[in-house]
Amino acid sequence: MDGVESPSSEIKVSSITAVSQSTNQIVELLNSPIYIGSSFVPQNVEVQKNYYYNQAVIYFPEINTSEIIVNLQQSSYSDIKLQHSYWKPYYNTGLASALNAQNRFDPASLNSIGFQDVQYNLSDLVPNVLRPNQLKDQSSLVTKKINITYKENLKVDRYLVSFKRINTTITPSALQKYYYTNFPIGFESLVKQQALAAEPNIDLAFSYETLESAETAKRYIQQKISSAEWTSNNFQDLVIEQIKKDLSPKSITGSISLQRNFEIYNAKRFSIGIRSIDINYNTYAQKSQIISKPFVFGYNVKNLTISADTSLSLQSGDSTISYIKYYISLDDAKKWIEISPIENPFNGIPEVLSFNENVESFGQIKGVSYFNYPNIPIDTKSIRIKIELQKPKYENTTPIIYSYQIAGRVEQI
């Protein structure tokens, strides 16, 4: 693209494509390019039919996809230099001192240096959309502190009493490490006491807050062995182990010092910015129907036709199937009579309905269905319309009715 002096107030949407998950093929969703502009009148008369002021809403057939590509074009721009502001960590101490090596502040790195579940106000770093240049204001602070809240896992020293004994529950039996549980033994038998006192899982072991408490437990075991109540083979290599144990996470409030810096980019300025591109979908039922309010004629209707403007895009469905069906009722929806729009090819369903004309069979016309009293009411002034819609199986498309109308020949008395 070549830059030009006069700014353009239009942007061209040249194509909208999607990748179909059922066929893995690219499907074009836009029939022809459209133009979106910031003025009421398009610059070029040739694009008037496809021109939208300010925003465009585009409808397209249903498609099962996870990827939609919108191609935008604009022919005009101007070369500019763009000043971009960013933040750099600035003389932090403690846990945050690891940030000082960064050339620019990366909030995502806080977890990697020990801050957990970090919470901070994003507006402290990113300018308000209504004031995009507020951080570039030379009068604003060159340095600032942002407050953060994070959780810290505190580790404390704890002590365990461990020993070894033969594990007879495995084959072959072997010497295994156990931990003292400090389980209340009460009036249990000596064998049961020794079984309850041992646990192979360190997470179920009893931990002592001080070394003195652990030594007291160790001496208690040694006294049991000395008095021959417990067997020394069940408490081999009796020792005290020191471990680090996590306490419940603690919520801490701190701050990070940052310094504002600037960098200059060569950029191209287009006259229109895209505020948003939204893709929406509706979920439709497999079948649906429309029932009209009564159409009331001034006289009894003798002949009736219906006309409809519809569309249905079929890829592989059976084109002989009627996915839109039309009915009329003369008795306020108690009984329905099927009718075919005059635009459709004749498929056995009548396009003209005759009411109470009492035409003999030899005088009846092909394509016209004749109904007489008592099968229909004598009064045929009030008519309701019912339209049934059905989605084709195995296709992501929906029949659409843009408009319909009925025409009746009446008998004036």
Collect the ranges in the chain with pLDDT lower than 70: 1-9, 137-141, 153, 271-273, 282, 313-320, 396
pLDDT of residue 1: 32
pLDDT of residue 391: 86
pLDDT of residue 5: 40
pLDDT of residue 262: 87
pLDDT of residue 10: 81
pLDDT of residue 319: 62
Q: What is the 3-state secondary structure (H, E, C) of the chain?
A: CCCCCCCCCEEEEEEEEEEECCCCCEEECCCCCEEEECCCCCCCHHHHHHEEECCCCCCCCCCCEEEEEEEEECCCCEEEEEEEEEEEECCCCHHHHHHHHCCCCCHHHHHHHCCEEEEECHHHCCCCCCCCCHHHCCCCCCEEEEEEEEEECCEEEEEEEEEEEEECCCCCCEEEEEEECCCCCCCCCHHHHHHHCEECCHHHCCCECCHHHHHHHHHHHHHHHHCCCCCHHHHEEEEEEEEEEECCCEEEEEEEEEEEEEEEEEEEECCCCCCCCCCCCCCCCCEEEEECCCEECCCEEEEEEEEEEEECCCCCCCCCCCCEEEEEECCCCCCCEEECCCCCCCCCCCCEEEECCCCCHHHCCCCEEEECCCCCCCCCCEEEEEEEEECCCCCCCCCEEEEEEEEEEEECC
Give me the domains of the chain, ranges plus CATH numbers.
10-77 (no CATH), 83-153+251-264 (no CATH), 157-246 (no CATH), 287-411 (2.60.120)
pLDDT of residue 6: 44
